[in-house]
């Protein structure tokens, strides 16, 4: 039997098969295969490319030398793209005139491009050039026969590459799942800690009604709002109401007090901190944490110039930069600011940035103190008295106590009133909280008022005990707007007893059984 040309070329086939089975290193495997094929067709130079999971190309050998480098297939040379697309070998003996090689600065005139395919999938591309100037169809036939006879080691490498890609993909998915889970946990934490539940906003005065009506009108917009007023006037509660009425009500509501904090710490709290040590986690700032929601910055009059500048830039562009960072972050957050000091006065004194003042106070609202809204005192006192308490443990306020509350100046405003009422509740052993349960600071009146009270007592000096009882019952009934059930409870008597006494005064008909 005559020995064919192909059989002569494959005398070392068993040796190359053994070499290929002995390694799973991609560079070594395809390098040995390329050297064998190049020697078979008379070429002494070769380059090897390995196709990755997403069809990106990794060049492992260039001109017979290891050269790890990742190449984007979509940006790679046209001749590589052509072979990947057709899955067929290609050779050219006149590169300078071949349009497939247009724009390439190659020293050689002849090039042979060979895809290594298994199960219809390209796992590698090899290029050959060298002393031989002309390639032919016979070279192509020889190479394809070589690859056919080396299908087993090529199959082995294909399975290894597939397993490797699957492992990389699996690790990537695990990382993505862990990141998604961490983000979900963070979002859950945000929901638990920063999502507001609707709460009562107590007021009766015309001044507060005007403010609340105005806030409801502007809440749907994303304008910055500045609330100015004395400590304890309810600025934070008003900010919460604005947030709950706004389109961002489902987003986080975060409160931060800027008072008495150094520049560096304030920068890190508001804007976050980039990691300066490898492996150290980055810290998100409040502006990022409040994304799609509201950030309430309290006492912004305390913010120093460097942070004023960063805040002004953020409000203008919705972009900020973490401490120690070189890249910016975006956050769609609404800022509500508060201060006890007049910012406009600080601007005139040169201690506050004028642009930040205007950026903060697109809408500016002055929140009045309790001494300017006496109508709210009784409503707030009753609310604080029984807030979060079961019905069976709720109490009432006596008319004397309410009068004392209204006569007091309340320099501490709502916060002070809340504290006074909560303490009075626990001091009272009955269902009625009386004036005696209030602190002396509230009940001790100025000298003028004491004189008035003495004059009032002298007016009652000629009355009998029965007359005094009648006056007290009638006054209490008037204070409670004729509500007999509440009056009886405040007086500590039954409703039936109250009806009998009112009947004896000739005020009503007898109570029917």
Boundary (domain end) residue, out of 315, 342, 368: 368
Task: Report yes or no on 423 lying in a domain.
Answer: yes
Task: Report yes or no on 107 lying in a domain.
Answer: yes
44, 47, 50, 51: CA torsion to nearest 10? -120
Same domain, 265 and 363: yes
Domain count, the chain: 4
* CATH code at position 349: 3.40.50.300
Same domain, 331 and 363: yes
Same domain, 27 and 82: yes
- What percent helix, strand, coil does the chain show, rounded to 5? 50, 15, 35
pLDDT tens over the chain, length 513 residues: 344 545 555 557 888 888 888 888 888 898 899 999 998 888 888 888 887 655 566 667 776 666 666 555 555 677 788 888 888 999 988 887 887 777 666 667 788 999 998 888 888 889 898 766 688 899 999 999 999 999 999 998 888 887 777 777 777 777 777 665 655 444 444 444 566 667 778 889 999 999 999 998 888 888 899 999 999 999 999 999 999 888 777 889 999 999 988 999 999 999 999 877 766 678 889 999 999 999 999 999 999 999 999 999 999 999 999 988 888 899 999 999 999 999 999 999 999 999 999 999 999 999 999 989 989 999 999 999 999 899 889 999 998 899 999 999 999 999 999 999 999 999 998 889 999 999 988 887 554 444 555 555 666 666 777 778 888 888 888 777 778 888 888 888 888 888 888 888 777 765 544
Please tell me what DSSP assigns to residue 126.
E
Distance (Å) of CA 383 to CA 199, 240, 270, 402? 12, 18, 34, 13
Same domain, 470 and 511: yes
Task: Report yes or no on 236 lying in a domain.
Answer: yes
Query: Strands 272-273, 283-284: parallel, antiparallel or unpaired by DSSP?
Result: antiparallel
Same domain, 348 and 395: no
Same domain, 109 and 126: yes
Q: Domain residues for 251?
A: 206-368
Q: Identify the burial level of 48 via C-beta atoms within 10 angstroms of its C-beta, where 0-12 means exposed, 13-18 middle and 19 or more buried.
A: buried
Please tell me what DSSP assigns to residue 55.
S
* CATH code at position 454: 1.10.10.60
Same domain, 233 and 358: yes
- Which residue, chain included where needed, has tokens 């390329």? 34
Rg (CA), the chain: 43
Number of residues that this document lists for the chain: 513
pLDDT of residue 188: 40
pLDDT of residue 185: 46
DSSP string, 453-468: HHHHHHHTTT--HHHH
Same domain, 45 and 124: yes
* CATH code at position 438: 1.10.8.60
Task: Report yes or no on 193 lying in a domain.
Answer: no
Task: Report yes or no on 181 lying in a domain.
Answer: no
């Amino acid at each position: 039997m005559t020995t064919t040309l192909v059989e002569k070329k494959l005398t070392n086939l068993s040796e190359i098969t053994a070499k290929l089975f002995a390694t799973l290193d991609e560079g070594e495997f395809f390098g040995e295969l390329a050297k064998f094929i190049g020697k078979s067709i008379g070429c002494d130079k070769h380059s090897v490319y390995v196709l990755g999971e997403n069809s990106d190309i990794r060049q492992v050998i260039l001109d017979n030398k290891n050269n790890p480098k990742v190449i984007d297939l979509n940006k790679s040379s046209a001749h590589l793209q052509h072979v990947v697309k057709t899955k067929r070998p290609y050779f050219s003996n006149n590169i300078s005139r071949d349009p497939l090689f247009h724009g390439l600065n190659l020293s050689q005139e002849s090039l042979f491009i060979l895809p290594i395919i298994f199960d219809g999938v390209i796992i590698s591309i090899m290029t050959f050039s060298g002393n031989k100037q002309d390639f032919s169809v016979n070279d192509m036939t020889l190479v394809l026969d070589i690859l056919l006879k080396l299908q087993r080691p090529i199959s082995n490498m294909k399975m290894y590459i597939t397993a490797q890609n699957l492992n990389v993909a699996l690790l990537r998915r695990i990382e993505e799942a862990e990141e998604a889970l961490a983000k979900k946990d963070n979002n859950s934490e945000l929901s638990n800690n920063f999502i507001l539940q609707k709460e009562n906003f107590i007021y009766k005065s015309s001044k507060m009604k005007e403010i609340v009506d105005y806030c409801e009108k502007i809440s749907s917009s994303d304008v910055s709002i500045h609330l100015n007023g004395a400590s304890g006037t309810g600025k934070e509660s008003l900010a919460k109401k604005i947030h709950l009425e706004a389109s961002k009500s489902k987003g986080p509501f975060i409160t931060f007090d800027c008072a008495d904090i150094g520049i560096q710490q304030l920068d890190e709290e508001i804007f976050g901190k980039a990691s300066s040590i490898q492996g150290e986690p980055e810290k998100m700032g409040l502006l990022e944490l409040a994304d799609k929601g509201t950030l309430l910055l309290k006492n912004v009059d305390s913010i120093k110039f460097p942070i004023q500048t960063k805040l002004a830039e953020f409000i203008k562009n919705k972009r900020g930069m973490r401490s120690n960072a070189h890249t910016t972050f975006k956050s769609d957050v609404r800022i509500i600011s508060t201060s006890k000091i007049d910012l406009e006065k600080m601007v005139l004194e040169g201690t506050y940035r004028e642009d930040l003042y205007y950026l903060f106070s697109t809408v500016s609202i002055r929140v009045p103190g309790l001494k300017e809204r006496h109508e709210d005192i009784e409503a707030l006192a009753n609310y604080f008295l029984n807030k979060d308490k079961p019905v069976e443990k709720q109490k009432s306020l006596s008319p004397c106590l309410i009068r004392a509350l209204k006569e007091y100046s309340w320099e501490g405003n709502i916060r002070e009133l809340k504290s006074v009422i909560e303490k009075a509740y626990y001091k009272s052993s009955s269902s009625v909280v009386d004036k005696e349960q209030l602190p002396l600071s509230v009940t001790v009146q100025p000298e003028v008022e004491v004189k008035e009270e003495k004059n009032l007592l002298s007016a009652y000096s000629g009355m009998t005990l029965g007359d005094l009882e009648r006056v007290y019952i009638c006054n209490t009934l008037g204070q409670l707007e004729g509500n007999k059930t509440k009056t009886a409870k405040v007086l500590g008597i039954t409703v039936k007893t109250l009806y009998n006494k009112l009947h004896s005064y000739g005020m009503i008909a007898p109570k029917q059984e």
